[in-house]
Structure 1
Amino acid sequence: MNTRTLRSRLPGIILIVVAGLYSVIPLISMLTAALAPQGSFPSGLSWPAHPQWHNFVDAFNIANITTLLKSSIIIVLGVVPISVLIAAMAAYAITLLRIPLGKWFYLLLLLTLTLPFEVVIVPLYQQIKGLGLLDSQLGLILPLIGLNMPFAIFWMRAYFTTAPEELSEAAQVDGAGAWTAFWRIHLPLARPSLASLALLMFLSTWNQFLLPLVLINDPNKRTMAGALQAFQSRYSTDVVLLNAGALLLMAPTIIVFLLLQKQFTQALLQGAVKG
């Protein structure tokens, strides 16, 4: 790499380093605080002289991580596959089948993306209450599927707008209907976009915080992020346990991202290229 190339890339490198430090330093601060003696008030990034690793064991038992992990998995499996499938079918119908009023329907979906999430909390609560689904995981799964639809359809439409129409025409010549063409041709070709959407929705659902607090009273039926509030209300005065519990609740997402970092980046780039 010559000097000229290095100078042109230097601002980007500096930006990446600053962004990385901005993300990593808070986690390091939480880790050092979590290893301090219980009942103390750690501050800064100083490493404790005698790290108390058992704090994570205590926080694990207090936060009931095993039960919350099972609950989060159930919610993610109920939301992500169904949302991705519905979004793909809707985007296919709007873009390639050109259903009547499809453009107006898509425009309405785009307008809902500008709606603040907090605005729908009260009406959503009343609807779920009327259906008798309060304090149940199904009562959380159904709203999350609906709330994810605008962005999910927007994401999948970006792929179908670039899909060659010749594929559908060739399928029609071979006697394949719209449904067969969707399942046999377009859906397999849309795997990069489907994968990137599934990963984004996994992170969004796993880290869902506000909606589980509103719709579910039992902390054991919430997502792991939603249970953080209950943990904080009980141990807000113990900064050490609070940090240990927060790191444990964040750990699954961090581990999944680290394990799938390459695939996650490739999926996002492929989805962006399709768009």
Structure 2
Amino acid sequence: MIVNKSEVIIGRIVLIVVLVLTVIPIVNMLSAALQPADRNPTGLSWPTDPQWGNFVTAFETGHVFQLMGSSLFIVIFVVPLCLLFATLAGYALGNLRMKGGRFLFIFLLLGLTIPFEALIIPLYYQIQSMGLLNSQWAIILPLIGLYMPFSVIWMRAHFVSVPQELSEAARVDGATTLQEFRRIQLPLARPALSALAILLFLWTWNQFLLPVVLVSDPLKRTVAGALTFFQGQYSSSLPLLNAGALIIIVPTIVVFVIFQRQFITALLQGAVKG
């Protein structure tokens, strides 16, 4: 496809506008976080005497280290288990073409249409009946289930795009289904798995509503879910509140910047097609 010069220019202008609109709120938060703790910042203005100590104060008094540990505990269980179940299910639906797979695929698509907020009340009573309220498992188990529709559809799309000739050649050589899956399909699925892992990490780290509703102890929530804890502590100090919020979002930005190539590679290789 030939792209003329005007389309290239328009595309770059749009990208620049989106970049500016994305960066401005972060810069505004940074400028507010560097103001004196007893001052209420208004507008975007860089302080003459930046108070970098606000970040230290927010980190120490806001128990950020414990909150990040809680988030990592949740992420360590949610992301690998979602990847495992989604890969197996996606392989079965996309490569093995199992009986009833089309019906199951439609069922998963319907799962994507259910608003997340509509499930909060049923989830609360279900977790309560299991005796898991106010524990990190009250976040882990529902998130695994809520992420399954998208994760399975994502991995199915990848396996559908893999040529069937590879599987047929492996079977001719005497490989079992498990051997073909482990030695051929999994290596080809690395870009799709990497991109899905990034998305699951970002969604889990930034999960807010579920931890607030199901976990009363802020130190057992995700860092995003503990924002109400920050607000309660620093409601009278906007600089410290902004400093705490920036500390919380930095890990997600770092992870995305580091693994953005894998994410783009998955998209270019057709991980969302099929």
Same fold, judged at TM 0.5 (above): yes
Q: What count of residue pairs does the alignment treat as equivalent?
A: 272
For residue 236 of structure 1, report the CA deviation from its aligned partner: 1.9
Q: For residues 51 and 81 of structure 1, what CA distance do their matches in structure 2 show?
A: 41
For residue 97 of structure 1, report the CA deviation from its aligned partner: 1.8
**2:63 equivalent in structure 1:** 64
- AA aligned to 2:110 is L
**2:192 equivalent in structure 1:** 193
Structure 1 residues 272 and 187, CA gap change in structure 2 (3 angstroms): closer
Q: Which runs of 5+ in 2 are unaligned?
A: none
For residue 119 of structure 1, report the CA deviation from its aligned partner: 0.5
Q: For residues 204 and 234 of structure 1, what CA distance do their matches in structure 2 show?
A: 25
- AA aligned to 1:83 is C
Q: For residues 187 and 100 of structure 1, what CA distance do their matches in structure 2 show?
A: 22
Matches within 5 A, 1:3-152: 5-152=4-151
Q: For residues 25 and 109 of structure 1, what CA distance do their matches in structure 2 show?
A: 38
Q: For residues 188 and 262 of structure 2, what CA distance do their matches in structure 1 show?
A: 17
**1:176 equivalent in structure 2:** 175
Find the residue that maps to 2:139 and give its secondary structure.
helix
For residue 273 of structure 1, report the CA deviation from its aligned partner: 6.9
Q: For residues 212 and 167 of structure 2, what CA distance do their matches in structure 1 show?
A: 45
For residue 5 of structure 1, report the CA deviation from its aligned partner: 4.7
Q: For residues 242 and 35 of structure 2, what CA distance do their matches in structure 1 show?
A: 10
Q: For residues 242 and 151 of structure 1, what CA distance do their matches in structure 2 show?
A: 34
**2:228 equivalent in structure 1:** 229
For residue 65 of structure 1, report the CA deviation from its aligned partner: 1.1
Q: TM-score, normalised by structure 2?
A: 0.94
C-alpha distance after superposition, 1:130-153 (max 9, x if no partner): 111111112211111110000001
Contact map agreement 2:158 2:271 (CA 8 A) in 1: no
For residue 274 of structure 1, report the CA deviation from its aligned partner: 5.4
Structure 1 residues 261 and 97, CA gap change in structure 2 (3 angstroms): closer
**1:215 equivalent in structure 2:** 214
Q: For residues 139 and 120 of structure 1, what CA distance do their matches in structure 2 show?
A: 14
Structure 1 residues 138 and 149, CA gap change in structure 2 (3 angstroms): same
Q: For residues 184 and 125 of structure 1, what CA distance do their matches in structure 2 show?
A: 42
Structure 1 residues 245 and 273, CA gap change in structure 2 (3 angstroms): closer
For residue 220 of structure 1, report the CA deviation from its aligned partner: 1.1
Q: TM-score, normalised by structure 1?
A: 0.93
- AA aligned to 1:261 is Q
Let me know the Cα RMSD of the aligned residues. Answer: 1.7
- AA aligned to 1:95 is G
Q: For residues 272 and 184 of structure 1, what CA distance do their matches in structure 2 show?
A: 19
Q: For residues 207 and 8 of structure 1, what CA distance do their matches in structure 2 show?
A: 35
For residue 123 of structure 1, report the CA deviation from its aligned partner: 0.7
Q: Which runs of 5+ in 1 are unaligned?
A: none
**2:238 equivalent in structure 1:** 239
Q: For residues 154 and 167 of structure 1, what CA distance do their matches in structure 2 show?
A: 21
- AA aligned to 1:71 is S
Structure 1 residues 116 and 274, CA gap change in structure 2 (3 angstroms): closer
Q: For residues 40 and 179 of structure 1, what CA distance do their matches in structure 2 show?
A: 63
